[in-house]
Chains A and B, each alone.
Chain A
Amino acid sequence: MDTRYAYITGRVRALEVRLLDKLKMERMVAATSVKASFSELEETDYGSYVSQLKDINNFEELLHDELRRLYFFIDKWSLNRELTDLFRMRYDFHNLKVFLKNKFKEKPLPLEKLPFVNLGTVDPKEIEKAEELLETQKKTTEAFEKSKNPQDIDIILDKEYYKLCLGKARESEDKFVINLFRREIDLINIKTFFRCRALKRDKVFFSKVFLEGGCLTKKLFLEFYEKEENAFLRKLSFTPYAKVIMGYEKEGLKGLELSCDNFLLEYIKKTKLVTAGLEVLIAYLIAKENEIKLLRSVLTGKISEIPAQMIRERMRETFI
């Protein structure tokens, strides 16, 4: 127990109960029209922001603003910014990918037309000069100049991001965060394993995209890469990821992604038993991000007139 977080833990507990629950999400999915879905959303904490929305098609702005408020809240109360900033840094890495891909393109676009996300720790337009990313940028540039393959930019930056996350988590010796990132890495590797096979990529490619640092070793994945799927599934069913595998067996890649997200949520739900500590704040951050992800799914689906059943099939669990 970290008593320094006693006050904020209490505050987070009060905020947690205001998170959208499964029932609310279901009501939004079952709504007969987009307008009805937004009316459901208006009854929640998002209400005042929904009413300010001029065009419902721009609901992404609303979600961005909510994320901005969330990160502001976390930054304000976190006593270990090194760790909590890692969650925002995924946007820095995204912005760096965008910047580098644009830089190496034959006809680069002006910066204002690029799909930057203004939620990271660095201003997207200044991403090139960000000191903490200079080394990563250099490494990525060198790799790209060697291969001329833009996919390498994504691969290297994704690997660097998780390396940084795990490194910082280990430095802080926070077991919750270390395990969180290790689990996340394992889940990404499992998903990548099946996706690479579905895309008919070879072992060398999988080896290249594999993220180091998880509990499951590269050797294990490579051993089963060219073997029958069932052998690998059997092997994983004796690991903590048995539940995840069930999702794949049931509904393929779609089910796997769903069960991976639910698995991580299950992990952070354990913090409900923590009296006080940074993990409560981080769990709230992930729960809120998950809620925003769910809202994006539902609202995009409703606006594009995707059948309710198809939206429901992809609905992740909620924190409460």
Chain B
Amino acid sequence: MRLSVSPTRMELLRLKKRILLAQRGHRLLKDKQDELIKQFMPLVKEVINLRKEVEEGLKKAFQSLVIARMLMPLEFVEESLMWPGERITLEVSYRYIVGVKVPEYEIKKEEDIHNYGLVTTSSELDVALKAYSDLLPSLVKLASLEKTMELLAAEIERTRRRVNALEYIFIPNLEETIKYITMKLSEMERADLTRLMRIKEIIRAH
């Protein structure tokens, strides 16, 4: 679609400068998009594998907890777990991937998770809690990677929209407008020339 501008030489020069800038921007954004995709693809694979691992681990941990529940009355399990022994601190830091600010979680564990009496509890409860405790760092890592993936995906989408806008709308519009102005100016030039030639002919006839 042609831009609504007056077909002047000044406008043509301005548009030529704009198209150069748009092409440079397009090239840069295209590079950014390529780099984002390059970072995104291995991340997706990592997330898929880690999620599989975590889901498998959670399934096993849950099964261990059910087995502990099979051997202990519900109230005894609740009593054993009513005062958690392990203290967990989660620290969040940020890093940049191709200009995208992504979070990184770090988990710190203090004290022991097995913080209950051993007489009224089953060793299956130890197994279940250990399974959950061992799984927690992977779960936190998965959260961090999935958030990174989400942010990268949003950025890729945004960049792609910009690249497409430049490639299919903005630059073609500018090109069309430039073409229009060039043709308009040539047309004006030809009109002037014809007019001059006609005047010259009239003068010569007198």
A304 within 8 A of B: yes
Of A46-54, A130-138, A187-195, the stretch lying at the interface with chain B is A187-195
| A33 CB → nearest B CB, Å | 17
Query: What band does the interface of chain B fall in when counting residues whose beta carbon is under 8 Å from A?
Result: 20 to 34
> Is A277 an interface position by the 8 A CB rule?
no
A28: min CB distance to chain B, Å: 13
Asked if A158 is at the interface (CB within 8 A of a chain B CB), the reply is yes
Q: Is the CB of A254 within 8 A of B123?
A: yes
With A191-B123, A195-B126, A296-B73: A115-B79 Cβ-Cβ less than 8 Å: yes
**Any A CB within 8 A of the CB of B124:** yes
Interface string of B148-182 (1 = CB under 8 A from A): 00000000000000000000000000000000000
Least distance between A143 CB and chain B CB atoms (Å): 13
Give A157 to B76 CA distance when docked, in angstroms. Answer: 14
Interchain CB contact under 8 A, B75 and A117: yes
Q: Are B67 and A198 in contact (CB under 8 A)?
A: no
Q: Which of A8-16, A95-103, A224-232, A236-244 contacts B (4 or more CB under 8 A)?
A: A95-103
Q: Quick check: is B186 within 8 A (CB to CB) of the other chain?
A: no
Determine if B70 and A195 form an interchain contact, defined as CB atoms under 8 angstroms apart: no
Q: How many residues of A contact B (CB 8 A)?
A: 43
Taking a contact as CB atoms under 8 Å apart, the answer to whether B82 and A301 are in contact is no
Q: Which residues of A contact B73 (CB under 8 A)?
A: 60, 117, 296
Is A257 a contact of B122 with CB atoms below 8 Å?
Answer: yes
Cβ of B116 within 8 Å of any chain A Cβ, yes or no, is yes
Chain B nearest CB: distance from A198 CB in Å?
Answer: 7
Q: B63's contact among A117, A192, A306, by CB below 8 Å, is which?
A: A306
Q: Once the chains bind, are A97 and B79 in contact (CB under 8 Å)?
A: yes
Question: Is B82 in contact with A101, judged by CB distance below 8 angstroms?
Answer: yes
Quick check: A158 and B120 within 8 Å, CB to CB? yes
B140 to chain A, nearest CB (A): 24
Question: Considering the chains assembled together, what is the distance between the CA atoms of A293 and B69 in angstroms?
Answer: 11
What are the residues of chain A within 8 A of B83 when measuring CB–CB? Answer: 101, 105, 150
A116 touches B75 (CB 8 A): yes
Q: Check if A273 is an interface residue, CB within 8 A of chain B.
A: no
Give A200's nearest chain B residue, CB to CB: B112
List 8 A–B pairs whose Cβ atoms lie within 8 Å, in order of A's numbering. Answer: A60-B74, A94-B75, A105-B83, A150-B115, A195-B118, A196-B118, A297-B70, A310-B63
Q: Which residues of B contact A (CB under 8 A)?
A: 63, 66-67, 69-71, 73-76, 78-80, 82-83, 85, 112, 114-120, 122-124, 126
Besides A154-B116, A155-B117, A196-B118, 16 other CB < 8 A contacts?
A90-B120, A94-B120, A97-B79, A97-B117, A98-B82, A102-B82, A105-B82, A151-B115, A254-B124, A257-B123, A296-B73, A297-B70, A301-B70, A306-B66, A306-B70, A311-B70
